[in-house]
């Protein structure tokens, strides 16, 4: 695990300065505090920061082919590297280290850009062909590891984080109006865009080829969009367990201490259950955080699971002051604004876990695989809601819903009802993004000085078209995996864990497992109103009673209460009308009304205000870039 970067000049006679390469590489030292390495070629330079996981002593990068013409750097883990290495050795290749990433230059020699099809892992990688002056960049199938790039002023520059690119002297940064509008809608900026104009994120499952000053991007993998598998529930459950066991076992490879994030929900509990069959439970380290705010706490369930399997369990109790004090640190680590408040407890859990281990497995991806969010239940209910005559909805039900007393508790009843009504009448896929996001297009007209851009949901429409599934439910899951999982959940986990120099692994995102589950009928995932039906069927018998069917809580934060209490002064300062007017992005009067209505208890504006708070905190770090 590490961070990677590189600079390729269009002109091969222009030398990459080592000091410039070191400068941009060291902006992400925390991603790899153990080591750094560099390569300089004709108009080219690669850099890396290393967190030593496999071959701690000998796995120094960059790594090269025998003749030195092919050089690679890789951020991530290649779980099937040993099988690949054995095959390459049989074919006559020689290796200098035991590192997983050394297979890359040899695979490139043999297969060129086709090397990506052989990899099982999470990665952002770069391979430089010195003789042909060709660069290959690739990102893992599900998007667990980030990769940013830009091509401007005669330079192609890439890195694991946006700050790497921003630090290069050739790069100009202008805030993207489209990126800002998308952030306000989704609470993140979807790939291939970033918050800056002309700086891009490589999409998951895509590769970039750069040769003769030209950039070519293509998709090398996608979720299977063919026919659903013809299999009984019992057969599918058995196959699911086999694939999950293989996936967990692959992710236990490590030369350093390893643990598990345990929330007490079915996803992380399933990882512990499978792991206990592969290792002595006394050797399994589990970690959780508890919240003094009880409506957000689920630590008792994590303890039950740990006690059931006999793991070595550790728990850290967090009070509101602990969490509030982490906000500046969390804002500092984000190169792009992210409106998901659960990054704070994720950061806290990563910080706590890193005191004991260097690698942690988690349950990320389970909700997107098995329809585990309440929005999927809401989608079922919305079909019946739309059958109610529109005048009755508009003049009776919706006014009554708006008059429900406002509660600041986690996912309170009034919050759920009002969010549901906000998106219930919108078309299928857009409805879900409105439920999950912050500002609708109509609300952005009220908020933004220049109004929203026309292409706010272009990625969503593209993914809906790409999915080509007969099942509406599986089309929804396709969009969730491409957007919410890749751009929110995995971004949050990567940034929070890597800031602590902790590697987070996600067994549910093994591509063989994902491909199998995605082709199952949607009714195997959401059965009536029963979410994660097949996962509960497969893993439930292994868990303590009640864990599999426990309602989802998630990593919620008491944002509504914070805004009225411990971060009120900060919020008022960040959203001060004079400051907002001076910056020129938002209409001061609308922002003031959002804050006033929330403070008075008239409207719960927690999501909108938090989205604005995180943008304003981002501006504090990055200045006030010119709007493009």
Chain segment 157-172, per-residue pLDDT in tens: 999 999 999 999 989 8
pLDDT at 435: 84
pLDDT over 60 at 334, yes or no: yes
Flag whether the pTM goes above 0.85: yes
- Dump the DSSP string for 251-309: TT--SS-EEEE--SSHHHHHHHHHHHHHS-GGG-EEEEEEESSGGG--HHHHHHHHHHH
Q: Which of 199-203, 286-290, 535-539, 620-624 has the lowest mean pLDDT?
A: 620-624
pLDDT over 70 at 410, yes or no: no
State mean pLDDT over 425-431.
Answer: 76
pLDDT at 59: 67
pLDDT over 50 at 628, yes or no: no
User: Would you place residue 411 in the very low, low, confident or very high pLDDT band (cuts 50, 70, 90)?
Assistant: low
Can you tell me the distance from the alpha carbon of 447 to that of 587, in angstroms, rounded to the nearest whole number?
5
- What contacts 24+ positions apart, CB below 8 Å, involve 83-92? 84/118, 84/119
State mean pLDDT over 506-521.
Answer: 96
Average pLDDT taken over every residue of the chain = 90
pLDDT in tens, 77-88: 999 999 999 999
Inter-residue contact 188 to 618 (CB < 8 Å) = no
pLDDT in tens, 66-120: 988 999 999 999 999 999 999 999 999 999 888 899 999 999 999 999 999 999 9
CA distances from 185 to 56, 211, 607, 623 (A): 43, 36, 11, 22
Inter-residue contact 385 to 424 (CB < 8 Å) = yes
158: nearest Cα among 166, 149, 167: 149
Can you tell me the distance from the alpha carbon of 573 to that of 579, in angstroms, rounded to the nearest whole number?
8
Residues 6+ apart with CB under 8 A from 132: 211
pLDDT at 403: 74
pLDDT at 217: 98
318: nearest Cα among 327, 309, 310, 307: 327
**What percent of the chain has pLDDT above 90?**
66
pLDDT over 80 at 294, yes or no: no
Residue corresponding to tokens 């925390």:
30
Domains and CATH numbers, the chain: 2-219 (3.60.20.10), 233-371+492-542 (3.40.50.620), 558-628 (no CATH)
Can you tell me the distance from the alpha carbon of 342 to that of 402, in angstroms, rounded to the nearest whole number?
26
User: Would you place residue 56 in the very low, low, confident or very high pLDDT band (cuts 50, 70, 90)?
Assistant: low
482 vs 465 pLDDT, higher one = 482
pLDDT in tens, 338-387: 999 999 999 999 999 999 999 999 999 999 999 999 999 988 888 888 88
pLDDT in tens, 439-463: 988 999 999 998 888 788 888 888 8
579 vs 404 pLDDT, higher one = 579
């Amino acid at each position: 695990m590490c961070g990677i970067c590189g600079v390729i000049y269009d002109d091969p006679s222009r030398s990459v300065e080592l000091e410039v390469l070191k400068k941009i590489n060291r902006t992400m030292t925390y991603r790899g505090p153990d080591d750094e390495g560099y390569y300089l070629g004709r108009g080219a330079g690669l850099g890396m920061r290393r967190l030593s996981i496999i071959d701690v002593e000998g796995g120094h990068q960059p790594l090269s082919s025998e003749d030195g013409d092919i050089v690679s750097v890789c951020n991530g883990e290649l779980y099937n590297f040993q099988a690949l290495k054995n095959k390459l050795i049989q074919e006559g290749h020689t290796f200098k280290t035991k590192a997983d990433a050394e297979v890359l230059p040899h695979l490139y020699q043999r297969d060129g850009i086709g090397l990506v099809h052989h990899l099982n892992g999470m990665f952002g990688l770069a391979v430089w062909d010195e003789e042909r002056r060709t660069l290959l960049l690739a990102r893992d199938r599900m998007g667990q590891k980030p990769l940013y790039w830009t091509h401007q002023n005669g330079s192609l520059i890439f890195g694991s984080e946006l700050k790497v690119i921003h630090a290069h002297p050739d790069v100009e940064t202008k805030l993207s109006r489209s990126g800002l509008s998308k952030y306000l809608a989704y609470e993140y900026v979807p790939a291939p865009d970033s918050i800056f104009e002309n700086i891009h994120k490589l999409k998951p499952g895509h590769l970039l080829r750069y040769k003769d000053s030209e950039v070519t991007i293509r998709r090398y993998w996608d979720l299977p969009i063919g026919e659903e598998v013809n299999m009984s529930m019992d057969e599918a459950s058995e196959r699911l367990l086999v694939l999950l066991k293989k996936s967990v076992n692959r992710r236990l490879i490590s030369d350093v201490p390893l643990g598990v994030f345990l929330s007490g929900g079915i996803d992380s509990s399933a990882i512990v259950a499978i792991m206990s069959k592969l290792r002595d439970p006394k050797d399994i380290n589990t970690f959780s955080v508890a919240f003094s705010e009880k409506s957000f706490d689920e630590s008792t369930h994590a303890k039950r699971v740990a006690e059931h399997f006999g793991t070595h369990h550790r728990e850290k109790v967090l009070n509101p002051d602990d969490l509030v004090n982490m906000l500046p640190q969390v804002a500092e680590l984000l190169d792009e604004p992210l409106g998901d408040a659960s990054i704070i407890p994720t950061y806290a859990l990563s910080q706590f876990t890193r005191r004991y281990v260097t690698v942690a497995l988690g349950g990320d991806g389970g909700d997107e695989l098995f329809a585990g969010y309440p929005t999927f239940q809401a989608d079922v209910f919305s079909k019946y809601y739309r059958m109610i005559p529109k005048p009755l909805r508009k003049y009776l039900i919706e006014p009554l819903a708006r008059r429900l007393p406002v509660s600041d508790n986690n996912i309170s009843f009034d919050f759920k009802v009002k969010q549901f009504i906000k998106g219930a009448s919108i078309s299928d896929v857009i409805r879900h993004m409105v439920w999950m996001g912050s500002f609708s297009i109509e609300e952005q007209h009220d908020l933004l000085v220049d109004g929203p851009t026309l292409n706010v949901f272009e990625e969503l429409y593209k993914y809906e078209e790409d999915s080509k599934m007969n099942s509406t439910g599986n089309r929804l899951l396709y969009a969730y995996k491409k957007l919410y999982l890749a751009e929110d959940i995995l971004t949050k986990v990567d940034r929070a864990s890597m800031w602590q120099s902790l590697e987070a692994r996600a067994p549910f995102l093994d591509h063989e497992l994902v491909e199998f589950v995605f082709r199952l009928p949607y009714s195997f995932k959401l059965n009536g109103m029963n979410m994660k039906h097949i996962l509960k069927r497969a893993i439930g018998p292994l868990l303590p009673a009640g864990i599999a069917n426990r309602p989802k809580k998630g990593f919620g934060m008491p944002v509504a209460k914070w805004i009225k209490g411990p971060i009120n002064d900060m919020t008022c300062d960040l959203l001060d009308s004079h400051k907002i007017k001076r910056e020129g992005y938002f209409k001061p009067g609308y922002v003031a009304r959002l804050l006033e209505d929330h403070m008075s208890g008239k409207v719960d504006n927690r999501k909108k205000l938090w989205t604005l708070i995180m943008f304003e905190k981002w501006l504090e770090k990055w200045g006030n870039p010119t709007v493009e």
